[in-house]
Amino acid sequence: MRHLFPLLLILMSLTACGPSKHIMHVDMRYPSKSGVDLAGKMPSVVYLESDDEAATTFNEGMATSFAAVLEADLGTGEGSVGVFKMLKQPDVDYSTNEALLDLMVDTDADVIFLFDQVQLKEPEAGSVSAMIPFTMKLYCLDGMDKEEKVKTFAGSSRAMPDGKDAGRTVAESFKSKWKTEPYSLTFYDTEKWYLALDKAESYDWKGAMDQWFTLLETNDLMKRSCAEYNIAVACYMLGDYALAEQWLDLSDSDNKLPNISDSLRKRIDSRK
């Protein structure tokens, strides 16, 4: 989630003395077009050295610039994505789970990217361009993905000899997608409920949860259901989808909120 879009506040009275609905438009992070979801995970990058010095230089540049793009996209800071080099072992199949799991443990990462030895080709005869043709192969394993399958990405193109522009181009496929979505919160016309909304509007979801927790101590099932539903939304925003589902279950059992409960549940299910 990022905070690029202004909030849109719509107050809709549900009943004369019942709750009202507050709609926030939030920019949400989704997996990249590669299908790899790096949200909340720490990746590392490994590249294989080659007997060809030019190929190793290219692979190093590709790996380091790839890591820099991931750092910027994840907002984790320069140097947060480790880049490691290693000699290729002839008896190791780097496209297997076993090989990449070992590298994941060695680099203390949640997701491992491995750039195989790059293949550089001679420029076409008569070419005056500084760009050189290359063929690359990239393996990826997400240790937090329930499928735990190695994904292979390969391709051929042309790039500068240092490989950096090639790495930036490859990384574009792994940058998060963003989508602006409306999310509903519920509230009553009292100071405590407004205080919680103020926290939510500032994207202080933990602070908002603290306020909603204080509103659970009531025998009014509708008010308790509204607080539980709001806590479920906050858990969802914080990426704890299992806990969000538990709070939504509590809300539904106390007094299910029409429409908005089903909408949130669909979103939770899609993140499982």
Q: CB–CB of 1/203 below 8 Å? A: yes
Q: What is the pLDDT of residue 257?
A: 96
Q: What is the pLDDT of residues 134-165, one digit of tens each?
A: 999 999 999 988 778 999 999 999 999 999 99
Classify domain 12-28+178-270 by CATH architecture.
Alpha Horseshoe (1.25)
pLDDT of 203 > 60? The answer is yes
Q: Render pLDDT for 49-98 as a digit per residue (tens, 0 to 9).
A: 999 999 999 999 999 999 999 999 998 899 999 999 999 988 899 999 99
Sketch the domain layout of the chain as residue ranges. 12-28+178-270, 43-175
- Phi and psi at residue 58, in whole multiples of 5°? -65, -45
* CATH class label, 43-175: alpha beta
Distance CA 125, CA 227 (A): 71
Q: pLDDT tens-digit profile of 35-49?
A: 898 988 999 999 999
For 92-105, write each residue's pLDDT tens digit: 999 999 999 999 99
- The whole-angstrom separation of Cα 253 and Cα 53 is 65
For the chain, first and last CA: distance in Å? 17
Average pLDDT over residues 154-178: 94
Backbone angles phi, psi at 94, to 5 degrees: -75, 0
pTM of the full predicted structure? 0.72
Taking Cα atoms as reference points, which of 263, 259, 226, 229 lies closest to residue 246? 229
